[in-house]
Chains A and B, each alone.
Chain A
Amino acid sequence: MAATQLRDRVAGHTAARRGPFWTIPRRDALVGYLLISPQLAGSVLFVLLPLALVGWYSLQEWNVLAGTFDFVGGANYAKLLADPKMGEVLTSTTLFSIGLVVLNLALALLLAILLNQKLAGTTFFRTLFFSPVLVSLVAWTIVWQFLLQGDGGINGLLGAVGVDGPNWLRGDATALLSVVVVQVIKNVGLNMVLFLAALQGVPRQLYEAAELDGANAWVRFLRITVPLISPTILLTSIITVVGSLQVFAQIAVLTQGGPGMSTTVLVYYLYQQAFQFRHFGYGATLSVLLFLIVAALTLVQWRMRRKWVFHES
């Protein structure tokens, strides 16, 4: 009897020391992993795996028609460095991105400030400027294609006030400008709404205090508004910079990269190489380049946030 009691006590003591495997933290962790697993599976299958495959394809020469898939090592990267069109492509991409980002952010902020005033009709204008965001991208671009033609609506309006408008989509500079403007008008509403939300979060009393101290409107904007909405400026600039490097449909519909190479931005060139010219390996190499550019620009912006974003320094 005593021996049994002792054995039970020892067993009980051991069990208490080991504890059950499914502890509460472990159970919580399992539930957590199970809950995120569908999203994780999606990210792995549709983001990480394709990303790895693109890297792998960039090392191959893939002739779809002949059915050959040969490992060529760094040959596609050497081709990238020697590609005579890359200079023009990168110039177009840079001009396009700078134009788009500057115009989009400046206009979005201006509209947000104007529509943040307590004036009649602001709701109507907020809806008006946001509505293009909801329109189908291709439908939007096709309508603009008609408007921008030599004898299109824009030149018709200009003609009515005695201005002889250019052939927008046929001149190097005007074609690039047209694509930028069409894209800005399409998406400016989104950034405008984000800025508007940020502006409404700036405490009124700060402006009142500054006013009492004799600060004019410009100083109030520069010293109060900009620092307090700087997290939103960071967010919108990252979204817009990344977005500017992915603009494809507008170029495919409006200019097909022309005139000359003036609107052949990197993502459009990548599409041409991979899908139109059937250089899948080289197309994948260009994708790697695009990925690196986007990653580098995002990283730079993220690093710089400490210097100018409020709450981050």
Chain B
Amino acid sequence: MKALGKLAAVSLTTLLAVTACGGGETPVAQGPQPLRMTIWTSNEAHLKLFNEIADEYRKAHPNVGSITFDTIPFENYTTTITTQIAGGKAPDLAWILESSAPDFVGSGALAPLNSKIENAAELVPSTTKLWQRDGELYAYPFSTSPFGMFVNTDLVKAAKQKFPQELIKAGQWDWEHVSKVNAAVAKDGKQGMTILDFDYKGWDNLATVWGGWGAKAYSDDGKSCQFNSPEMVEAMTFLHTSIFKDKAMPGPGTVADFFAGDSAMVIAQISRAAMLKEGTFDWDLVPLPSGPKGKYAVIGQAGIGVLKKSPNAELATDFLTFFTNPANSAKLAAYFPPARSSLLTADTMAKTNPLLKPDQLQQVVIDGIETGVVKPSHTGQAELAQTIRAALDPLWTADADVKTVLDGVCAKIQPMLGA
């Protein structure tokens, strides 16, 4: 026991000695301050543009020492930022995904931006809704990217099906016809339609389909589950039939990469067009097909916010003002669809999106941004998403009862919605 006491005393002394080596008071900020912004892109062209804008800002602001763009992989992006915040290493600025927007905006973690954004009146309302609370803007809607349908026209032709443009002209660009085209391609040996990042786990991407039925994951006030609404049951029944009966979509566990030429169609954001730059097949980009409730559009969003906890929050806000001013927004529009109405014209966007034709930009991007519904998000979305994912799993078998599964989803999440 005596030896144990000695050991404890030595441990404590060692600990004190070790802790005494580090620490000390944080030095008072003096001289040029560094800024750090977390992002999830690692694309060289994106980073080059960001650094050019940052260099320009630093020339006029010698009080900013350096501006670092810190790339964090998309899969663990929000988890990593929150761990950094918990560890006392919060970034000064952060991109925020639409799924975690309600948590960041609602928690008061972000600095208010209303009076800081230049010419804020021209921001399209559908793009700012998610980032506002009580009339105050907490993040700049940096990228508003509509979902469209990329089509491998070579595969459609080989399956002797009508091209999307022909179906659009004939007023037949709807889910029923699209499913037939995809089923025909699948019969030929390739795969039909895929939904990027869905893979029978990322269910929020299904909003790009169920939007056509007017279905929603949650009610507008966020208090009730809408998974077992008649619209959702109908939409999910369509999906289930497409997958397991018509084989218009590859089933769970089947890998089909559209960009490698494996499938006829993919629902993805327009920024994915870059992956077709060196494509080996002919392709087209068209709006999402109409559903029983008519035309619709779905958008994915990213905002940039300033972390209130940052010791340089004021400087960071000033940099954000510069980064998102109309001139820089025009430059950034090359990769990130802008929220400023003055930049939302097919002519302006065509200059920076050489892969897309003006009518594609008008139909998919501009109309999409103006009318689009943002992918599902809710306070505590990460936990809801995981619970819904687990409850939806039984749907992805051939003999599933759609209504029963969807009732099961609501039974699980309704208590979490706080109503």
Contact B394 A65 (CB under 8 A): no
Determine the distance from Cα of A108 to Cα of B7 in the docked complex, in whole angstroms: 39
Interface residues of B in 63-111 (CB under 8 A from A): 79, 82-83, 85-86, 103-104, 107-109
Determine the distance from Cα of A258 to Cα of B202 in the docked complex, in whole angstroms: 12
Contact A40 B254 (CB under 8 A): no
Contact A40 B382 (CB under 8 A): no
Contact A41 B18 (CB under 8 A): yes
B252 contacts chain A at the CB level, 8 A cutoff = yes
B260 contacts chain A at the CB level, 8 A cutoff = no
Shortest Cβ distance from B14 into A: residue: A41
Determine the distance from Cα of A44 to Cα of B386 in the docked complex, in whole angstroms: 36
Shortest Cβ distance from B13 into A: residue: A37
Given the known inter-chain contacts A40-B14, A257-B390, A260-B390, please indicate yes or no for A167 contacting B82, CB distance below 8 A: no
Interface string of B250-270 (1 = CB under 8 A from A): 011111000000000000000
Interface string of A130-144 (1 = CB under 8 A from B): 000000000000000
B354 contacts chain A at the CB level, 8 A cutoff = no
Nearest-CB distance from A43 to chain B (Å)?
8
Given the known inter-chain contacts A33-B10, A37-B10, A276-B386, please indicate yes or no for A150 contacting B254, CB distance below 8 A: yes
B-side interface mostly:
helix
Q: From A67, A257, A261, give the contact of B109 (CB < 8 A).
A: A67
Nearest-CB distance from B154 to chain A (Å)?
22
- Pair count A-B, CB < 8 A: 98
Nearest-CB distance from B131 to chain A (Å)?
15
A-side interface mostly:
loop
A280: chain B residues within 8 A (beta carbon)? 86
Nearest-CB distance from B198 to chain A (Å)?
14
Contact B253 A259 (CB under 8 A): no
Shortest Cβ distance from A151 into B: residue: B254
Contact A275 B79 (CB under 8 A): yes
Determine the distance from Cα of A283 to Cα of B390 in the docked complex, in whole angstroms: 20
Q: From A37, A44, A65, A170, give the contact of B85 (CB < 8 A).
A: A65
Interface residues of A in 16-75 (CB under 8 A from B): 29, 33, 37, 40-41, 43-45, 48-49, 62-67
Contact A258 B389 (CB under 8 A): yes
Given the known inter-chain contacts A151-B254, A167-B253, A258-B390, please indicate yes or no for A275 contacting B107, CB distance below 8 A: no
Shortest Cβ distance from B393 into A: residue: A259
Given the known inter-chain contacts A66-B108, A261-B390, A278-B82, please indicate yes or no for A44 contacting B15, CB distance below 8 A: yes
Contact A65 B15 (CB under 8 A): no
Shortest Cβ distance from A273 into B: residue: B383
A116 contacts chain B at the CB level, 8 A cutoff = no
Contact B107 A66 (CB under 8 A): yes
Contact B394 A256 (CB under 8 A): no
Interface residues of A in 152-208 (CB under 8 A from B): 152, 167-170
Determine the distance from Cα of A149 to Cα of B17 in the docked complex, in whole angstroms: 54
B57 contacts chain A at the CB level, 8 A cutoff = no
Contact B253 A169 (CB under 8 A): yes
Given the known inter-chain contacts A49-B15, A277-B383, please indicate yes or no for A65 contacting B255, CB distance below 8 A: no
Contact A277 B393 (CB under 8 A): no
B125: chain A residues within 8 A (beta carbon)? none
B11 contacts chain A at the CB level, 8 A cutoff = yes
A167: chain B residues within 8 A (beta carbon)? 251-253
Determine the distance from Cα of A280 to Cα of B380 in the docked complex, in whole angstroms: 14
Determine the distance from Cα of A24 to Cα of B30 in the docked complex, in whole angstroms: 54
B238 contacts chain A at the CB level, 8 A cutoff = no
Size class of the contact patch on chain B: 35 or more
Nearest-CB distance from A277 to chain B (Å)?
4
A272 contacts chain B at the CB level, 8 A cutoff = yes
Contact A65 B201 (CB under 8 A): no
A150: chain B residues within 8 A (beta carbon)? 251-254
Nearest-CB distance from A177 to chain B (Å)?
15
Nearest-CB distance from B211 to chain A (Å)?
25
> Which of A45, A277, A280 has the most B CB atoms < 10 Å from its CB?
A277
B336 contacts chain A at the CB level, 8 A cutoff = no
Determine the distance from Cα of A222 to Cα of B129 in the docked complex, in whole angstroms: 72
B283: chain A residues within 8 A (beta carbon)? none
Determine the distance from Cα of A121 to Cα of B334 in the docked complex, in whole angstroms: 62
Shortest Cβ distance from A277 into B: residue: B383
B40 contacts chain A at the CB level, 8 A cutoff = no
Given the known inter-chain contacts A150-B253, A272-B386, A277-B383, please indicate yes or no for A41 contacting B109, CB distance below 8 A: no
Determine the distance from Cα of A277 to Cα of B17 in the docked complex, in whole angstroms: 37
Shortest Cβ distance from B10 into A: residue: A33
Shortest Cβ distance from B79 into A: residue: A275
Q: From B18, B79, B108, B109, give the contact of A276 (CB < 8 A).
A: B79
Shortest Cβ distance from B385 into A: residue: A276
Nearest-CB distance from A276 to chain B (Å)?
5
Query: Can you sample 19 A-B contacts with CB below 8 Å?
Result: A40-B10, A40-B14, A41-B18, A43-B11, A45-B18, A48-B11, A64-B82, A64-B86, A65-B109, A66-B109, A67-B308, A151-B254, A167-B253, A170-B393, A260-B391, A260-B394, A275-B82, A276-B386, A277-B386
Chain A residues with CB under 8 Å of chain B are 29, 33, 37, 40-41, 43-45, 48-49, 62-67, 149-152, 167-170, 256-261, 264, 272, 275-280
Q: Kindly list 16 other residue pairs between chains A and B, CB separation below 8 angstroms, not including A152-B253, A259-B394.
A: A33-B6, A40-B10, A40-B14, A45-B18, A48-B11, A67-B108, A67-B308, A150-B251, A167-B252, A170-B396, A170-B397, A256-B389, A259-B390, A275-B82, A276-B383, A277-B382
